[in-house]
């Protein structure tokens, strides 16, 4: 076997090991979240809070992927499945703000502003869940995101100490961001490592109980 062929074989072997590891991590996440995934059309167990995970925005306009999540959150709020909404996303710079775009959309659709809390430092799913428990004192939650992301979100919520169930935001015709599912096996590997290592979110901060006023979580009137 020539030197070049040995390099190719080694690379292929390494790629196969990485792929197998990612699939195994995905399996762990699915196993750890399965009991918390609410089947489409099934009754949603009531929880005090709904956690809506952020996604891309265009200025103050939610992307189609994020709007799917907001539509589902609005449905849960209106039918009484949740009493408060925690919007967790990326507001790491003044020029990019997922959470206020989410809040404005919900207020425009009739949600009581006293029932909407903002987590400006939900930079990834693990940060969102740890901060929901530590900062916002959430005990039980309905997690809202797309179906491909939901097992990982519920898995991380439970590892963060939340009594969590998950509801898929996908509309009947399928989600506009379903293509993002391709990265889930590798994202699941990161999720497992975060829980095993007890990784801390980038920011914590003062406690803002979800049972109180959202005023301290707001940076806009």
User: Comparing C-alpha atoms, which of 121, 166, 131, 133 is closest to residue 29?
Assistant: 166
76 lies in which domain range? 3-217
Q: How far is CA 217 from CA 205, 206, 207, in A?
A: 11, 10, 10
| pLDDT at site 19 | 52
Give the pTM: 0.88
> By CB neighbour count within 10 A (0-12 exposed, 13-18 middle, 19+ buried), where does 157 fall?
buried
Pick left, alpha or beta for residue 34 (phi over 0 → left; psi -120 to 50 → alpha; otherwise beta).
Answer: alpha
| pLDDT at site 220 | 86
Structural domains in the chain (count): 1
Sheet arrangement for strand 49-53: 116-119, 84-88, 49-53, 140-145, 163-168
| pLDDT at site 77 | 98
The pLDDT tens digits for 106-118 are: 999 999 999 999 9
* Residue ranges in the chain modelled with pLDDT below 70: 1-25
Structure tokens at 23: 């699939």
Instruction: For residue 23, give the CATH number of its domain.
Output: 3.40.50.620
> By CB neighbour count within 10 A (0-12 exposed, 13-18 middle, 19+ buried), where does 26 fall?
buried
| pLDDT at site 150 | 96
User: Comparing C-alpha atoms, which of 88, 78, 130, 125 is closest to residue 217?
Assistant: 88
Residues 107, 109: Cα–Cα separation, whole Å: 5
Cα atoms in the 13 Å half-sphere on the side-chain side of 129 = 29
**Mean pLDDT of the chain, nearest integer:** 89
Q: How far apart are the first and last CA of the chain?
A: 70
């Amino acid at each position: 076997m020539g030197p070049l062929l040995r390099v190719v074989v080694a690379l292929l072997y390494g790629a196969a090991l990485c792929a197998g590891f990612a699939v195994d991590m995905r399996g762990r996440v699915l196993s750890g979240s399965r009991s918390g995934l609410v089947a489409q059309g099934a009754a949603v167990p009531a929880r005090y809070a709904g956690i809506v995970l952020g996604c891309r925005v265009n200025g103050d306009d939610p992307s189609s992927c994020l709007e799917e999540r907001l539509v589902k959150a609005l449905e849960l709020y209106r039918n009484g499945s949740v009493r408060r909404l925690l919007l967790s996303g990326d507001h790491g710079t003044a020029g990019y703000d997922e959470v206020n775009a989410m809040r404005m959309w919900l207020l425009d659709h009739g949600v009581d502003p006293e029932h909407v809390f903002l987590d400006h430092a939900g930079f990834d799913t693990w940060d969102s869940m740890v901060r929901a428990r530590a900062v916002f004192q959430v005990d039980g939650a309905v997690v809202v995101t797309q179906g491909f992301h939901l097992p990982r979100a519920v898995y991380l919520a439970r590892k963060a100490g939340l009594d969590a169930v998950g509801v898929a935001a996908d509309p009947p015709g399928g989600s506009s961001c379903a293509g993002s599912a391709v990265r889930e096996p590798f994202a699941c590997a990161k999720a497992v490592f975060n829980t095993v290592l007890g990784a801390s979110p980038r920011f914590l901060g003062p406690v803002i109980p979800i049972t109180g006023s959202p005023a301290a979580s707001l940076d806009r009137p």
